[in-house]
């Protein structure tokens, strides 16, 4: 795996995510297709907080303090405890761009020093079959983006069906 390639992937994902969350009204951005699904605002603000408190933090932890305890948090609780759905969509988009650009800039700086992607976390708290490596965090960061890109694309579909009424996308051939 090439370090620079994965950082470039995070950069591309930034543009995709921004495109997927731009253009919604506040009502559309906070709407949930069902109680057990997330809104655009919930998905976006979750991605922001995970950017800072999980991936960027974990990358730093493995690089500089691999002996420290792995962080524990419940990101599902953040959805309500941090009032994601009450946040303004435009401010959330700006914050995502800022935080992702901060991460990318930092990662490119680290890339100049060729970080060892096999460097492992040796501290207490991470449970898994194998130790968490720097490369695992980087690949998981990209994978996390991809999961939420898919989620946001599905939300687009649901929002289109709801707000296009009385019109319908049935002619597209993919209606359910």
pLDDT of residue 75 exceeding 90, the answer is: no
CB atoms within 10 A of CB 78: 17
CB atoms within 10 A of CB 147: 11
Task: Supply the pLDDT for residue 124.
Answer: 67
Residue 28: alpha-carbon gap to chain centroid: 20
In SS3 terms, 8-65 reads as HHHHHHHHHHHHHHCCCCHHHHHCCCCCCCCCHHHHHHHHHHHHHHHHHHHHHHHHHC
Average pLDDT over residues 64-91: 92
Average pLDDT over residues 35-48: 97
Task: Supply the pLDDT for residue 86.
Answer: 97
- Is pTM beyond 0.85? Reply is yes
Tokens (6 digits) for 163: 């707000």
Domains of the chain (ranges, CATH numbers) = 3-172 (1.20.120.450)
How confident is residue 3, by pLDDT bands cut at 50, 70 and 90? confident
């Amino acid at each position: 795996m090439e370090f620079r390639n994965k950082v470039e992937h995070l950069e591309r994902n930034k543009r995709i995510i921004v495109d997927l969350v731009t253009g919604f009204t506040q009502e559309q951005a906070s709407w949930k297709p069902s109680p057990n699904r997330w809104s655009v605002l919930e998905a976006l603000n979750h991605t922001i907080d995970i950017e800072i408190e999980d991936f960027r933090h974990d990358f730093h932890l493995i690089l500089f303090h691999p002996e420290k305890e792995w962080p524990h948090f419940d990101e599902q609780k953040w959805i309500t405890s941090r009032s994601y759905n009450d946040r303004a969509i435009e401010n959330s988009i700006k914050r995502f761009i800022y935080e992702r650009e901060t991460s990318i800039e930092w990662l490119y700086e680290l890339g100049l020093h060729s970080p060892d992607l096999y460097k492992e976390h040796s501290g207490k708290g991470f449970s898994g079959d194998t130790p968490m490596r720097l490369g695992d965090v980087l690949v998981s960061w990209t994978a996390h983006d991809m999961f939420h890109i898919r989620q946001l694309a599905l939300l687009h579909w649901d929002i289109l069906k709801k707000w296009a009424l009385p019109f319908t996308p049935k002619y597209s051939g993919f209606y359910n």
